[in-house]
Chains A and B, each alone.
Chain A
């Protein structure tokens, strides 16, 4: 399955947006977290600044989100992880309300209750969780509902390669295969479960091999290749919409930054990220757009400027938004 020029352009624009978003967040996140603004003796304070708490960024993992979401409609659902921004952006979650949520502001998706790992946008059918392995069972539920409602909607469960060693992975694959649920299990293999390398934690080379246990197709995409993700996801979505059941796709993708911002990455070979950036999928896609006459240099520059504009507007909205009143903490425990 090959992308149309419109799909190629869409994927490129979303990748630019995701990358610029994550890089901007990495900078903003450091505000107020370094000496001398923090407790004496600390090198960094995770709880300070306008964006406190953990921050897991997906720079480098754009191909997975755009290659999959290029096939989705608004009615399709995505359930993401603790590293959710790329899928949220590709699924169409509004940047301003998402950013306001990450700033803990009243105007955020969850009025400041959720934060960066807990983004919920029922309108654009996106949700995520800070617990490893939590996306897969929930995705089965969205898919079950679609089936019961007689819709051809599909659901994507994104998860890391570390989560494939959770019981929920195996239970969900079995359930989805058994009930022929329209689910895409999308494993983002960035090789590192925080500090634990895949080879140390996983008994098989590729998680796609595990699909055989449940009699469903298992596909492995190597080298963070946007077009190959697009092709694999296209087939899987078509299969799911036809009512033929789930597919497991594992994508070899690249985590350019630490597990969280502030991670010293003592476990990672020194030049690994430098090498991974050699195969940055964004310039590769730009070259393809030019080669196919879809965009010239001026058009590429306009797309870049537009991504910058959107990100700046979202951060501006977040900064200017008010904080919730403290006592609002007591609301929304129940529906």
Chain B
């Protein structure tokens, strides 16, 4: 961490190498590349060393960079998230992993009163180039304190960029952008798309990833699947579910377009509007809570622009109803939107009228 210079590696002469990676591999590869490029980048968090992160996001990094730059922390989140802020304010580029998003309650003050506000309160004098990454999502019966998404809560607080990849390719490019950003970035990976050997996952999340570093800009949604009858807006694992639902809808003669927001802050309003203008129907599918969250935000931004967008049916929202995530399998499947629920909502939208 001694030198000041950032070194871009020389381009390889051979053809660019591309191979399929899991999302976990793509994230650790992105961090590894940035750590090589910039000595100011380091990682701290719980079980990120020998374990390689409970969800594999720092796999192999300890062997490569040593414990001075891959730092296992005590279970003292206020201390190490606050320390990430301090180190970032001094110009380093910390990446802090906090295992599950559900655990953020213990250090929220450092995040929503400090990480999110110090740039603003300093009138831009302070820079905070830090990334906080964490695991989200249910679907494997880990109950109310280990299955939440909660990204809407962070997107609600001004001052935090919110990144939520749905696949390996995006995860690598978005993570590199996050590390190079001078503002705090919250990076959320869903456990059920990481491609872990011990948890079922949606295979669409494992895809071709170039070996070379690349960036994906924030605030640019991706059309994951084109369609003309209906727009499904989603993030993270729900994108993978929505693509499967769109395939099923295709068999029933409904052409659904899937828009992957990729980042909530900044939000690609134009990207959403462009798709809804084309289809005239909007379904927002989300694994976070229904109330006061992502689904309401997307519905509202369309509602505010009904002079520009002509809807053919009322907006539909699918998300976790106002209950904590229950443990038992039949109840968990009931509250978290499944592929079949997206298909049913899509069909319902096609038959409903304004």
Contacts and interface: CB of A to CB of B under 8 A. Distances in A.
Given A201-B73, A326-B333, A326-B334, A195 B49 contact: yes
B335 A113 contact: no
B143 A329 contact: no
Nearest to B321: A330
Interface stretch (B124-132, B212-220, B322-330): B322-330
Q: Describe B's contact surface by its main secondary structure.
A: loop
Nearest to A193: B75
A7 interface: no
A167 B78 contact: yes
A326 B76 contact: no
Contacts of A328: 331
Interface in A101-160: 101, 104-105, 108, 110, 112-115, 117-118, 129-133
Given A42-B200, A115-B141, A132-B75, A266 B331 contact: no
Interface in B50-108: 50-51, 54, 72-78, 102-103, 105-106
Contacts of B199: 42, 45-47
B198 A114 contact: no
Contacts of A323: 328-330
B55 to A, nearest CB: 11
B71 to A, nearest CB: 10
A39 B141 contact: no
Interface in B309-332: 321-324, 326-332
B74 A202 contact: yes
Interface string B187-213: 000000000011111000000000000
B43 to A, nearest CB: 14
Interface stretch (A48-56, A87-95, A232-240, A246-254): A48-56
Contacts of B46: 193-194, 196
A47 B197 contact: no
Interface in B273-330: 321-324, 326-330
Nearest to B105: A131
Contacts of B75: 132-133, 162-163, 165-166, 193, 201
A201 B75 CA distance: 8
A162 B74 contact: yes
Nearest to B199: A46
A292 B266 CA distance: 72
Contacts, number: 154
Interface residues of A, number: 54
B327 A104 contact: yes
A100 B76 CA distance: 34
A43 B197 contact: yes
Given A196-B46, A201-B72, A53 B198 contact: no
Given A46-B198, A133-B75, A165-B74, A113 B331 contact: yes
9 contacts: A42-B199, A52-B329, A53-B142, A113-B144, A131-B145, A133-B75, A165-B75, A196-B49, A327-B334
Given A165-B74, A165-B76, A166-B75, 10 more contacts: A39-B200, A101-B327, A104-B141, A104-B329, A113-B327, A162-B74, A194-B47, A196-B74, A324-B328, A333-B322
- Which 6 A-B residue pairings sit nearest by Cβ, starting from the closest? A47-B140, A104-B328, A115-B327, A112-B328, A326-B334, A52-B141
Interface of B: 46-47, 49-51, 54, 72-78, 102-103, 105-106, 139-146, 197-201, 321-324, 326-335
Interface of A: 38-39, 41-48, 52-54, 101, 104-105, 108, 110, 112-115, 117-118, 129-133, 162-163, 165-168, 193-196, 200-202, 262, 266-267, 323-330, 333
